[in-house]
């Protein structure tokens, strides 16, 4: 997806409940500039295991509309997260992460 989307369009692209990985129960785990969102908690935790991170990550689910608000998106931008993978997968041949990516445009 290359064009910018509105907040309403973004929420429409996501499942009603969205999951993310965390190590502390609140902050989203990411690999800057990428953040990762999932349709299910199981998909999130499977992805975490496949990534092979040393952190003890677990999935937290919440209403997609609550997650995708201006404060959260500003926080992501302020921590240098500029792209969000939706239901990413890992290529077993080369370890690359692939999938739908939503780009967070800078605020002007």
Domain coordinates of the chain in residue numbers?
7-86
| pLDDT 10s digits, 75-107 | 888 999 989 899 999 998 998 999 888 888 766
| pLDDT 10s digits, 35-48 | 999 999 999 999 99
94 Cβ neighbours under 8 A, 6+ residues apart: none
| pLDDT 10s digits, 9-57 | 666 777 889 999 999 998 999 999 999 999 999 999 999 998 888 889 9
Judged on CB neighbours under 10 Å (0-12, 13-18, 19+), 49 is exposed
């Amino acid at each position: 997806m290359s064009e910018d989307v509105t907040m309403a369009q973004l929420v429409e692209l996501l499942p009603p409940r969205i999951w993310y990985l965390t190590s502390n129960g609140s902050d989203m785990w990411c690999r800057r500039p990428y953040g990762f969102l999932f349709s299910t908690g199981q998909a999130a935790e499977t992805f975490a295991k496949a990534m092979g991170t040393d952190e003890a990550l677990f999935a937290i689910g919440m209403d997609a509309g609550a997650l995708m608000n201006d404060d959260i998106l500003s926080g992501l931008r302020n921590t240098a997260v500029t792209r969000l993978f939706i239901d990413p997968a890992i290529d077993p041949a080369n370890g690359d992460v692939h999938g739908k990516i939503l780009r967070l445009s800078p605020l002007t």
